[in-house]
Structure 1
Amino acid sequence: MEFPKAPTRERGKVAGVVTSPFPSSSSSSLLYKPGCSRKLETALQPAQGEGQRERKRNHPVIPDPKSTRIRSDQIRELIKDQRFFVASQHLLAMERDCSSDSGSKRKEDHVDHQSEIEDLFGLLKQEVLRIIRLSVSIAKAEPELLRDAVRTVAEQVEEDRRYTLEEKASGKAAHCRPRRWKDEWRSTVQESVTDRMKEPPFDSNEGLSTTAHSFLHMGKAMKDDLITVVKYIKGHYPEDFQVCSTYAQFYHKCFSAQLEMVAQFELGRKDTYLLLTWVQNIYPNEIRNHPILVKDLDQAHLGSLLPLRQIKQFEAAYLTNEVDAAKRSLANCLQLEVKKWAEGNEPPKLAGHYHSELHIDAIQIIHNKQKEAEGISAELGKQMSTLVLEELLAFLQSYKKALDIFMREKKNNQYFEATVVTNMNSCLGFQSHTEKTSGQDYIRVKIVNALTDIETAGCNVLVQCVVQELQPIFRKFTQRKWASCTDIIDEIIATAIHHVSTLRALKDPLRQAVIEKIHFFLVQEYISRLMKKKVSLRTPELQKNLSELVQQHASILCTFCLDNGSTAKWLGYALPSLAEIIKLQGTDTIMVEVGMLASKYPDISKEHLSAILYIKGNLSRNETRSILSVLDIGVTATLPHKHLFSSIRV
């Protein structure tokens, strides 16, 4: 009885089946009789439920190859219909029958049969491997077809193994085995990987360079395809195929070869960064350590995409290129800033403070280089951090030189003080960034010192602006009688207010530091003028009047400074104490007050005290000598030791 030809596979069939290139033999109409042992028949028993699965596909029932043989043209129809595993079983039975009957047939018939079998095996392998080549594409949509192809490959590999064992046992070689399907399978997988890793047409509209486009495509293809292998392909294969490792190794070799080729060319900054990012970060972290892939890829022992020696060369080139780029960018920032100073315009304000983008731009340059390198590897990030901090130090040194020139040559600029304040605010921004940045401590210390030098120079210039305008006013104290000096203190305060209004745009703690220096100058200069006036008042009444005037002026100066942010309360006792010494009449009470003054200001000398006592024209020499002797007694300081009197020349 002849079986009808298997109908063409419609549902689930992969299009483009290639018909066999081998001609049909005239022996295809022959039926083959059973000739295999029970052991071989058992080995070829289809998996349980196979018949049910095939019937669910609406295919006619094919006879069991253990009991009934079918013609070669029917096997061709099975292959054409992509029922590979069934075709493989019948073909194996045909191969075994041919081998067992070789001695009972004429040589010509045996050759014809063997030729037909080889043609069928060639056709089966061609179609099965075509499906294997499409595995990644069809794994989700055609799992049964892929499973059928994989089972066929596995069965043929197992048959090779069985023949090899029999050959060793019997010493007789089978001329048709091994057929090396596993080698063919590996080659097919490799070809499939190579095809899928081929770069698609370049689209410049994506905004990517050719290198970036290539890396992105290969990385995405490798990750997505390997996820498909793990989730949808791995389960079809026996464990000994190590299918995940096989695919992974081929993808790795393909990716690595492409990078090796790219590495032969002289790469620009961006492409060098891109290559290192893929080799050191994206590939190991996002592909090899992907949650779905990590277990299987660990078993594949993939290694790095490039040799370590080559990676180090690219890292060295990357560091050199990026540090040079940072240096140029910082120089451009400073050049633009200096140009703004020369224009003489009022600096902009932000939240009430004079503001410049200089520190923001410079810090952004440094920060971007650090983060970019850290994105490649932590070690490269550390190296970059050290190098760019050295560049920041060099930049700050250039910055100080430029600012020194401005402060020396542009004092007539309408917004001179505002510009200095702006740059001091920028220093605070640099300071804050340096404190938060990791790096070599010795470099950070040098950066902090450079910033401190700029801040100190700025503070001194701002204070000097106030001093230069106030000193001529203070000199009026020595040019007039004390009774007519009331308007002088008002003029001093008015002038100071003008400068302090600019200082309100200076951020703390620098603003506080400048105000305290101004506070110090006001107190010290007033004391100096009081000592240099060389006026001797002989009556207690005149001394009392002067004391009250000094007390009044001291209160005005102290209130002004404290209201504007000074915290130098230690200065507040000096003038009131001197006023009290001028007012007191008893030697003992004066000595007590002098002792209290010396305890707060240990740097007061006998010359300073003598100048104050000179005002008290009713003191005898002995009384003056007794009062001065208080300073010979060791007095315990009640305030932190700060110099107020030592810089006053009498």
Structure 2
Amino acid sequence: MPRFDNTFNRLRESFPWRRKKEVDTLPSEDLKEEKGVGDGSSATCLENEEKKEEDESDVSSLKSKPPTPSKTDPSMPRFDNTFNRLRESFPWRRKKEVDTLPSEDLKEEKGLGDGSSATCLENEEKKEEDESDVSSLKSKPPTPSKTDPSMPRFDNTFNRLRESIRWRRKKEVDTLPSEDLKEEKGVGDGSSATCLENEEKKEDEESDVSSLKSKPPTPSKTDPSMPRFDNTFNRLRESFPWRRKKEVDTLPSEDLKEEKVTPTFEEYLEIQAFCEATQQLIDREKHLFWETAEANKEAVEKLAADHKALEERVWQTLQQSLSLSSEEASVSALKSAVKAINLEEEQDQLWKQRSQTPPAWRPSEWKKRHDEVLQKLVNGRMDNPSSPTGDQVNQSSIQADIQSMDRQLKDDLQWVVEKVKNCYPPEMDICNFYARQYHQTFKARLRKIVGSVDDEDCSFLLRWVKESYPEILEKPELTSNINTEALGNLLPDELLKPLEEKYLSNQQSDLMIYIDRVLDEAKKEWDQGKEPTRDDGCYASAVAYDVIQFINDIVTSAQKIVRDPHKAQKITSNLTDFMQRYKEFHEDVIKQNKPHSKAFIKANLSCVKQFKDFLVKHDLFLEDVQKNCLPVLTEMKQSAHTYLLTPVHKVLKPHYQKVGTNDWLKKNTFEKLLNSTEEELQQLQGSSQSSYQELIGQLYQEVAEEYVRRLLKGEVKLKDSNQQQKAYETVKENAEKLHELFAEMGSKQDWLKEILTKIAEVLKLQDTPAIQMQIVSLGSAYPDLSEKHISALLKLKANLSKADKKTIKTTVLDILKESHTNAETRAFFSKVEVVGS
């Protein structure tokens, strides 16, 4: 039955609440009337007595709960009068309206009688008043029923309820208010037939009312002191006879749901419900071939025609897989088509398990046909890509075709992952299926063109196969759905290796052409007498920058394309030849010694430094290339240093000649050497900072070497300890000032100061063992200290006997031989030539 909780809530709110005094005085005459107490028969009294006990238990259970507040005005009239007016408002329907009811069951429920005209007049007068009351209830929307979903909506139910209340007889109206409730409960002078009818209705209604009783009433939100009238409502609910199912089914209400009708096969096709259409055909097929002794020929032919029509629609839908519209219907159609294919596959498997002769369309093999349709779809899209090609003005036909297919591939795989994947079950692995189809399509096309590509197309093709294609598949949204490793290579090794060799050979030739052009441009500027440009005060040459850029770009790109660093390194195998030509140009500049030669050499020093760092720090070269190029660069640096420093030593030579003489020991002649050196250092500036540091470091070492050579020449004889002390102080002071000068100019050669200091310590010491230990310390740090150097150093100490000098020298040499290591050390004394000893 329809729920009317909302209606009841509004009715409850319209019933004024009982005062506590009235509740306490129960049973009053009002409650008697509500309970149907009157002049009925003993049977009726007995029935009322039984209901009274039941009602009292209901009232007690309801009283235990807090009263439901009323939502109306607390000053409204007493409950009795309102309730009586409601009761009196129900029997106002004319006898004529009652007589025209279409059902005899409804007549019995309405209790139709032979009321007088006075009653009809009274009902007519009350009708106008009731209509206004009822309209206020109708103004609120009915609460949807939560019970049987097939029952009619509230509005129609409410109308039928109103009509069912219009059945009061004149006699019943005249006897109000004592006998109304009797009649509601079926008490009165009715015949046994009426009692039987009431008994039948009671059984029907009890089951319907029980579902409503199971839910607690909605509490009122107004005055909490009002008495509960839930019991009264329960009696009201029981007084409204619910329609029997037969009556509901025969009611002409538009709200009643029509019986669901299964669409036909043609209707399923029209709405693209291919799965449902397939299931319908399978059911028909099972009935014709499995459930009947002999299939009807016409039915079989009709089934075959329907099966063919369905198949055509499914393939049409599959052919639109990569061009689905954004509408939900398009996606839904593809989902349904995929489900239909799987249903057909299941039916094929069931037929294989049966011994009967299958129909002509079995096995249908829709899964195989599905793969063929999609393969054809992919081939068609690769033959006629929809994506517009790029700038094809400077592209060959092969390059344009590959680029167009490249774009189509990217768009289609993205679409498969975003849209098509959701239309397939996971076990069909549709993303990998499409990836394999595109992979095979590209593979077949590349095989046809690989033998006819020129040098330019060869580079483009290899770059796409080895670089562009993997980049497409390595996109995050694709890698999570496609197993790229399982796809394999687009080209087999027998086709790929010749392409790679051709490509590497072309890259090697291109590299040598580019770097030779760079060197030719530098020579041209030299011949024209142009001085190199300056960058932050330093002379700069573009040779190293341009050559390094070309090497880096070409070899790095080749590594990505051939995916083999060793093969890519072969591109630089001719770099040694370039370095030799560069060295020849460098030496030619030095040899000609033009006014701008120093500027070119300073710029070349920067280039040599860049080339050396590039060769050592990057893995773009074969090992033999590194070994052959680095010595060439070292020779270029040394020749540049010699060219730039030779004029400096020529200026400093007069000052060198004063070192190790009596004037050097008595007068401060070393200051002149320092001043001249400082002036020359200024003239050496012009190369890059790192190259300049190496240059002045070389000058620092050569000045120190010349200083020691002049000292060990032995022009001064230190006859006593005082002179030796004076020599110690002079050498130490010279070492500190020389180091300070070069350090200010940026030199990092601290070890040169240490050599001069150790020599000064030997001059100061007087104890033989101490002298031995100091010389051993010097020889350990610089293993190129020879016997001649030791003899020349001891010769300066004139107060040592020949025996002491021999002992010291023998001991030191023995110790140095035993402590000799292969550790890398700096060379110094080997460049200090000692004449005699």
**Quick one: which amino acid aligns to residue 450 of structure 1?**
V
Contact 2:421–2:431, Cα closer than 8 Å, also in 1 = yes
Q: Which amino acid aligns with 2:543?
A: L
Pick from 317, 328, 331 the counterpart of residue 516 of structure 2. 331
Show the 5 A alignment for 1:175-186. Answer: 175-186=360-371
Residue 104 and residue 445 in structure 1: after superposition, are their counterparts in 2 closer, same or farther (change >3 A)? Answer: closer
- The answer as to 2:692 corresponding to 1:505 is no
Find the partner of 1:199 among 370, 385, 388: 385
Helix, strand or coil for the counterpart of 1:305?
coil
Deviations 1:524-557 (A, max 9, x none): 78669995xxx99xxxxxxxxx999999999987
The answer on whether the counterparts of 1:523 and 1:571 sit within 8 Å (CA) in structure 2 is: no
CA shift at 1:196, angstroms? 2.8
From 305, 308, 322, the counterpart of 1:136: 322
**Which residue does the alignment assign to 1:399?**
582
Mapped to 1, the partners of 2:295 and 2:769 lie a distance apart of 141
Aligned twin of 1:432: 613
CA distance in 2, matches of 1:333, 1:634: 60
Q: Which amino acid aligns with 1:463?
A: L
1:631 to 1:504, Cα distance in 2 relative to 1, 3 A: farther
How far apart in 1 are the matches of 2:520 and 2:678? 34
Q: Percent identity?
A: 19
Deviations 1:52-79 (A, max 9, x none): xxxxxxxx998448xxxx5xxx72x543
Q: Secondary structure of 2:489's partner?
A: coil
Residue aligned with 2:353, SS? helix
* Structure 2 CA distance for partners of 1:562 and 1:161, relative to 1, 3 Å: closer
Equivalence map 1:553-632=2 (5 Å): 563-564=744-745, 565=747, 567=750, 568-569=752-753, 572=756, 603-604=788-789, 632=806
CA contact (8 A) 1:418 1:502 kept: no
In structure 1, the residue corresponding to 2:686 is in which secondary structure?
A: coil
Helix, strand or coil: the match of 2:808?
Answer: coil
Distance 1:462 1:104, change over 3 A: closer
Task: Please give the per-residue CA displacement for 1:286-326, whole angstroms capped at 9, x wherever unaligned.
Answer: 41x55444465439942221112222222222222212222
Aligned to 2:254: none
Q: Which amino acid aligns with 1:121?
A: H
Task: Tell me if the contact between 1:334 and 1:358 (Cα under 8 Å) persists in the aligned partners.
Answer: yes
Amino acid in the other structure paired with 1:331: D
Q: Which residue of 1 aligns with 2:447?
A: 260
Question: How far has the Cα of 1:460 moved from its partner?
Answer: 2.0
Q: Distance in 2 between the 1:333 and 1:61 partners? A: 90
For 2:770 and 2:425, locate their aligned partners in 1 and report how far apart those are by CA, in whole Å: 103
Question: Alpha carbons of 1:150 and 1:573: their partners in 2 closer, same or farther (altered >3 Å)?
Answer: closer
Map 1:14-33 to 2 at 5 A: none
| Matched-pair contact (CA < 8 Å) for 1:474–1:525 | no
Shift of 1:515: 1.7
Given the alignment, which residue of 85, 95, 101 partners 2:275? 85
- Counterpart mapping for 1:39-58 below 5 A: none
Report the equivalent of 1:450: 632
For 1:310 and 1:570, the matched residues in 2 are separated by: 65
Output aligned runs, 1:60-71, within 5 Å: 63-64=261-262
The answer as to 2:553 corresponding to 1:384 is no
Deviations 1:344-375 (A, max 9, x none): 44433434443223222222222212321332
Question: Which residue number in structure 2 is paired with residue 459 of structure 1?
Answer: 641
- Retained in 2: the 8 A contact 1:190–1:250? yes
Instruction: Tell me the matched-pair count.
Output: 542
Give the greater-gyration-radius structure (CA): 2
- The residue that corresponds to 1:19 in the other structure is none
The letter for the 1-side match of 2:608 is C
2-structure distance, mates of 1:404, 1:299: 55
- What letter is aligned with 2:833? S
Q: Name the structure 2 match of 1:159.
A: 347
CA distance in 2, matches of 1:391, 1:424: 22
SS of 1:204 mapped into structure 2: coil
Partner amino acid, structure 1, of 2:515: L
Classify 1:495/1:343 alpha carbon distance in 2 versus 1 (closer, same or farther; 3 Å).
farther
Work out whether residues 199 and 214 of structure 1, in 8 Å CA contact, stay in contact via their aligned partners in 2: no
- Aligned counterpart, 1:369: 554
Letter in 1 for 2:335: R
TM-aligned CA distance change 1:376 to 1:521, over 3 Å: same
Would you say the 8 A contact 1:608–1:645 is kept in 2? no
Q: Hey, what's the Cα distance between the residues in 2 that align with 1:561 and 1:304? A: 62
Are residues 492 and 348 of structure 1, via their aligned partners in 2, closer, same or farther at CA, if it must alter by over 3 Å? farther
Question: 2:405 corresponds to which letter in structure 1?
Answer: M
**Does structure 2 conserve the Cα–Cα contact (< 8 Å) formed by 1:603 and 1:645?**
no
Match of 1:124 in 2: 310
Q: In structure 1, what is the Cα distance between the partners aligned to 2:806 and 2:518? A: 59
Letter in 2 for 1:373: A
Range moving further from structure 2, 357-366 or 387-396: 387-396
1:307 lines up with 2:492 in the alignment: yes
Which residue of 1 is the match for residue 11 of structure 2?
A: none
For residues 89-118 of structure 1, give each alpha carbon's deviation from its aligned partner in whole angstroms, at most 9, with x where no partner exists.
44445556666889586xxxx46x655544
Match of 1:357 in 2: 542
Query: For the residues of structure 2 that align with 1:422 and 1:195, how far apart are their CA atoms?
Result: 61
Aligned to 2:345, the other structure's residue is in SS state: helix
Match of 1:147? 335
Are the equivalent residues in 2 in contact too, given 1:393–1:447 (CA < 8 A)?
yes
Letter of the 2:582 counterpart: Y
Aligned mates of 1:436, 1:362 — CA distance in 2: 16
Residue identity matched to 1:158? E
**Deviation sequence 1:104-145 (CA, Å, 0-9, x none):** 86xxxx46x655544443332222211111113227533212
CA RMSD in angstroms, aligned pairs only: 5.1
Say whether the 8 Å CA contact 1:88–1:152 is kept in structure 2: yes
Deviations 1:571-626 (A, max 9, x none): 75799999x99xxxxxx99x99999999978645989999x99xxxxxxxxxx898
C-alpha contact (below 8 Å) 1:524/1:648 kept by paired residues:
no
Counterpart CA distance in 1 for 2:259 and 2:395 is 56
**Distance change in 2, residues 1:249/1:528 (3 Å):** closer
The 5 Å alignment of 1:484-499 reads 496-497=677-678, 499=680
- Which ranges of structure 2 fall in alignment gaps of 5 or more residues? 1-257, 718-726, 779-784, 817-824
1:190-216, Cα deviation, whole Å (9 max, x unpaired): 122123333345342798765555444
The 1:576–1:416 alpha-carbon spacing in structure 2 relative to 1, beyond 3 Å, is farther
Q: 1:157 to 1:549 in 2, by over 3 A?
A: closer
In structure 2, relative to structure 1, the CA distance for the partners of 1:246 and 1:139 (3 Å cut) is: farther
- State the distance in 1 between where 2:604 and 2:676 align: 23
Task: Please give the TM-score of this superposition, normalised by the length of structure 1.
Answer: 0.67
Q: How far apart, CA to CA, are the structure 1 residues paired with 2:651 and 2:305?
A: 110
- Contact map agreement 1:605 1:631 (CA 8 A) in 2: no
Determine the C-alpha separation between the residues in 1 that align with 2:740 and 2:482: 75
Structure 1 residue aligned with 2:64? none
Output the TM-score relative to the length of structure 2.
0.53
Deviation digits for residues 170-229 of structure 1 (CA, Å, limit 9, x no counterpart): 3x2423323333333222111221233333453427987655554444345435434543
In 2: Cα distance, 1:140 partner to 1:562 partner: 75
Q: Would the alpha carbon gap of residues 517 and 338 (structure 1) be closer, same or farther in structure 2, given more than 3 Å must change?
A: farther
Q: Specify the SS of the correspondent of 1:634.
A: helix
Q: CA deviation at 1:630?
A: 6.8
Q: Which position in structure 1 is the counterpart of 2:168?
A: none
Residues 379-436 of structure 1 show CA distances to partners (whole Å, capped at 9, x for unaligned) of x223313x245333332222222212221x221x123223222212222212222222
Over 3 Å counting, the alpha-carbon distance change for 1:206 and 1:92 in structure 2 is farther
